[in-house]
Amino acid sequence: MNPFTIGIAYHEKFCNRRLEIETLKKNMLAGIHTVVYAPRRYGKSSLARVVIGELEGAMTGIFIDLFSVTSSVDAVRKIYRGIIVALGAKAADRSSFAQKVSAFFKKIRLSLEFDPATTAPEFNLSLGDQPAEIHLEQIIANLDEYCGSQEIKVCLVLDEFQEICNLKDAKMVEGLLREGMQNARRVSFLMMGSRRTLLRDMFEDERRPFYKSAYVLRLSPIPRREFTVFLEERFARANVSIGLEEADAIVDFTEGYPFYTQKLAMLYYELKQAGEPLSAALRQLLEMESVDFENIFVALTTHQKQLLKAVAVARPKNIFAASFLAGHGLGSQGGIQSSLKKLQALDLIENIDEGWRVTDPIFAQWLRGQQS
């Protein structure tokens, strides 16, 4: 069995993050609401799952993915369903659980149905005729009251939390969730997000409801040595040996980006057994990701594409330097402002201590390949 994963990394497939795990566990137990941000595919969801798993017994974990949310009604439905499924997962009698929970969540209609294929009992949830605003006014308070009645605490994970910013009535959703969070006594919020510009605006703009409302944790890269040791050990446990040089090469190519490091290692595990070199896995990774990269690239304007490719190639220390702008045909400083703002909002480029770079290192490799 392949010792690596490109899905949620559980148990031994999860690499380190002990400091972050302990910080998040302490915060959740203390009722300190926390927002975690990092680029896409950086292991945030896996981290949240590990935290929930290690809190089991002390807190009930509820995981809600808001990535595909399209409206406030959709958000309400996802939150309710996540709550009901998580709370009912260990109920010995689901029928009595449905009655019990309905006494607190009075705005929804909850019934128990049986899956025709598996005969397993499933919860059917209806929002009734009430608008989303009414549900959002009460949903967290209702959850908090239920927790009090059962003498439990909840860690409520809202993954891809920044997606509520894109809703038509985003201000209303933000305001009501913030009010519920502020008044909760037994519910700790763990908000995860990948669109960092949007998240920073949510929590650092004094005009927004969530301003200064949560502990902010930025996920840093996993230390290089920890990743290389992890790779060597995972290969060895699967009876395939790689040396430190190969493990270093994997981390070098992916720049320690968790998703790509796992995926490249997963590909190389299969190819190495067939006698193929690491370079074959590198090519395969780029080929597999190219469709996703093409879709991102074609959605940009011509000038945004130019700027993105220029950053991938040059990694400028000063993006407004005349030599950089002229060398890549980008026009004036004022001319790139709009493209720069858009690329940052999409989290496609970032400014770090070493200068500007494309956030996704494999996307950067792909962009450099388009130059030839």
The pLDDT score that the predictor gives to residue 117 is 67
pTM of the prediction? 0.91
Q: How many angstroms separate the CA atoms of 368 and 331, rounded? A: 21
Contacts 24+ apart (CB under 8 A), 267-274: 268/242, 269/2, 269/3, 269/4, 269/235, 269/238, 269/240, 270/2, 272/240, 272/242, 273/240
Q: How many angstroms separate the CA atoms of 131 and 238, rounded? A: 53
Helical (H) or strand (E) element with 254: helix 244-254
The pLDDT score that the predictor gives to residue 367 is 97
Q: Given phi > 0 = left and psi -120 to 50 = alpha, else beta, which region is 292?
A: alpha
85, 49 contact by CB (below 8 A): no
80, 142 contact by CB (below 8 A): no
For 161-207, the DSSP string reads GGGGGGSTTHHHHHHHHHHHHHH-SSEEEEEEES-HHHHHHHHH-TT
The pLDDT score that the predictor gives to residue 20 is 97
For 270-319, the DSSP string reads HHHHTT--HHHHHHHHHHHHHHHHHHHHHTS-HHHHHHHHHHHHH--S-T
The pLDDT score that the predictor gives to residue 372 is 55
Cβ-based burial of 161 (10 A; exposed 0-12, middle 13-18, buried ≥19): buried
Sketch the domain layout of the chain as residue ranges: 17-87+129-218, 224-288, 300-369
The pLDDT score that the predictor gives to residue 197 is 84
Q: Rounded to 5, what percent of the chain is helix, strand, coil?
A: 55, 15, 30
Tokens standing for residue 249 = 């090469």
Q: How many angstroms separate the CA atoms of 221 and 227, rounded? A: 10
For 329-355, the DSSP string reads T---HHHHHHHHHHHHHTTSEEEETTE
- How would you write the pLDDT of the chain (372 residues) with one tens digit per residue? 999 999 999 889 999 899 999 999 999 999 999 999 999 999 999 999 999 999 999 999 999 999 999 999 999 999 999 999 999 887 778 788 888 899 999 989 887 776 666 656 678 888 988 899 999 999 999 999 999 999 999 999 999 999 999 999 999 999 999 999 999 999 999 999 988 888 888 999 999 999 999 999 999 999 999 999 999 999 999 999 998 999 999 999 999 999 999 999 999 999 999 999 999 999 999 999 999 999 999 999 999 999 999 999 999 999 999 999 999 999 988 889 999 999 999 999 999 989 999 999 999 999 999 865
Tokens standing for residue 256 = 């320690």
For the domain made up of 300-369, the CATH class stated in words is mainly alpha
The pLDDT score that the predictor gives to residue 115 is 65
DSSP β-ladder status, 34-37 and 215-218 = parallel
Superfamily for domain range 17-87+129-218: P-loop containing nucleotide triphosphate hydrolases (3.40.50.300)
Q: Read off the amino acid at residue 115.
A: D
